[in-house]
Amino acid sequence: MEKNTAEKLYEAFYMKVFSYVMTLTGDRNDAMDITQETFLRAISTSKGFRGESECYTWLCAIARNIFIDEKRHYSRLEGEPPDDIPDTGTDIEKKLADADSAYRIHCILHEMEEPYKEVFQLRVFGELSFRQIGSIFGKTETWARVTYHRARLKIIERMD
């Protein structure tokens, strides 16, 4: 990849990718490291980009894979089995404004099973479209919509 093209890619998508990675890690330093590694891999392997998705979706997929790899690596070092991958509604978005409700929702999300947790976080916190979410998972836009809807219902049910 040309230097000029790499710089444009970095400038255009750094904050979006960083925000997405923050939803995965919850830690600023880890998110910065993973985001940097994402762009390094994207630039060094740009020939692998087939253009079947948007650049942003491609970068998020790379970031997600790096996150999963690091999570597995650290769990092996600690001798523990890998934890669920932390992941990320319409009435629910309104409740996030209330600190107590937000805390309860985050606790529910922490316990929620995959892929509901990540799809919800990508939609609400990562502000991704259903098409982008489906692309990250290698699924359809409809799958992302249904999974998000089911996640919302699970959260609402557990809030009561």
pLDDT above 50: residue 127: yes
Q: Lowest-pLDDT range, 69-78, 83-92, 93-102? A: 83-92
Q: Tell me: domain 3-78, CATH 3.40.309.10, correct?
A: no
CATH 1.10.10.10 location in the chain: 91-159
| pLDDT greater at residue 146 or residue 51 | 146
CATH 1.10.1740.10 location in the chain: 3-78
Looking at domain 91-159, its CATH class is mainly alpha
Buried b (16+ CB within 10 A) or exposed e, 38-73: bbebbbeeeeeeeeebebbbbbbbbbbebbeeebee
Q: Does the pTM of the predicted model rise above 0.75?
A: no
- Per-residue pLDDT averaged across 10-23, rounded? 88
